[in-house]
Amino acid sequence: MLAGCDPEGATAPPPAARDTAPPPTFADASGLLDGTVVREDAAEPLGDAAIVNEAGVCRTGSVSGVTCAPSGDLPIPGARISAVTRDCRGREQVVETFSDERGGFRLGGLAPGRTEVTITAGSFVGRFSAEVLPGADVFLSNGISNKVCLRADAAGLAVLTGNFDSIEDRLDDLGFAYDLYCGDTVGHRAARQVLADWEQLRRYQVVFVNCATGIDLRVENPEVEVIVENLERFVREGGSLYVSDLAADFVERVWPNAVDFDMGVSGGGRDPTCCVCTDCPEMCVVENTGPTSHCPDGSTLPAECRQSSGTSGRGSAEVVPSNIVSPFLQSYLDSRTIDVVFDLGGWVQMTDVGPNTEVLVEAIDDGRPLMVAFEPYEGGGTVAYTSFHTHRQTTEPMKRILRALVFRL
């Protein structure tokens, strides 16, 4: 993941080296723009350079455009736009800025010539080529409009299905491709297997864990221990994790100091041989029982395993007027408040967060956290947890918040 930089912390290019030549000047407004940050840490050598003409004038160019999700109709606010270029003395530098609330951007201070522009939004990365012209602003385009949309495969995504959540619907809104693994209270072997297989898990940049996967990580079982170790390693090495509601044990078990939850008892009393295995013995495999609502291939779990288990909560069915605390999420809505709707009771409430956990959305009346994020390891990925999610009660503002959360990962 590429770390973002504060767009308000813009700095000018470093002073030119001392020599006898007069310092070059910028001849037009296509040079550095407000909000543009320059860093001299370009990794790759460049063939193009901003040429100082006989009059000692260095003319740079700029690129503009609108960032968008692969679907083409949803802009991406807060995306990092960057390019490796050269200053007026030929020194390599990185120039970067951020897209505005409508996804628009203008990146200046670019040397004339072919330039690769990188768009980064969380784990999602897109690269676009532009021919920068001196003294001109060039629009980056998809050939139809002044938009630069990320590809559907801009990041490797895995989704574990659940009973009461469907984050994949929000990924469909955005147009991203993903691999879907069956997980619910009657059939979750596929989801369990991908978590237990490090070589398979490491292929992804983001793993989405829907509410009620049927997997309880509070079970004392050797294979659960492997899953916990893999999740910790996945985030430590830069992967990000989305977790919702009844999957709170994924956060509590791996990062117990990040969030305090009000949860029910563990469903850990299940048969440890057939109900929690990833490479199950033949005695545990039964004939296909037919498709379930979330697992089209049906379940091969024995009957005693096909029952509700795992995490439970104590939240009530209610509408919770809430503040959108995160400026990043605010940029995706026209308001800084939202009514969070819970149409069913039993959702998991957060009672407190650790010192390094950021509250993204909180209840107005009592400050209860409803959506949080944290980065447990320096240089690692992000873990996001949300008590509300995609279900039949989800309003359009709630959908926008959940789509925005995808770009924090």
Q: Give the domains, in start order, of the chain with CATH numbers.
A: 25-149 (2.60.40.10), 157-406 (3.40.50.880)
For residue 8, pLDDT beyond 50: no
Residue scoring higher pLDDT (34 or 64): 64
Higher pLDDT, 265 or 94: 94
Taking residues 216-236, what's their average pLDDT? Answer: 90
Q: In this predicted model, what pLDDT tens digit does every residue of 338-359 receive, in sequence order?
A: 999 988 877 899 999 999 999 9
pLDDT of residue 258: 96
Most confident of 14-18, 85-89, 324-328: 324-328
- Angle at CA 208, nearest 5°, toward 207 and 209? 115
Q: What is the pLDDT of residue 390?
A: 80
User: Residue 53 — very low, low, confident or very high, per pLDDT cuts 50/70/90?
Assistant: low
Give the helix/strand (H/E) hosting 224: helix 222-236
Say if residues 380 and 255 touch (Cβ distance below 8 Å).
no
Across 41-70, average pLDDT: 66
Quote the mean pLDDT of the chain. Answer: 80
Helix (H), strand (E), coil (C) string for 204-216:
CCEEEECCCCCCC
Name beta bridge partners: 65.
105
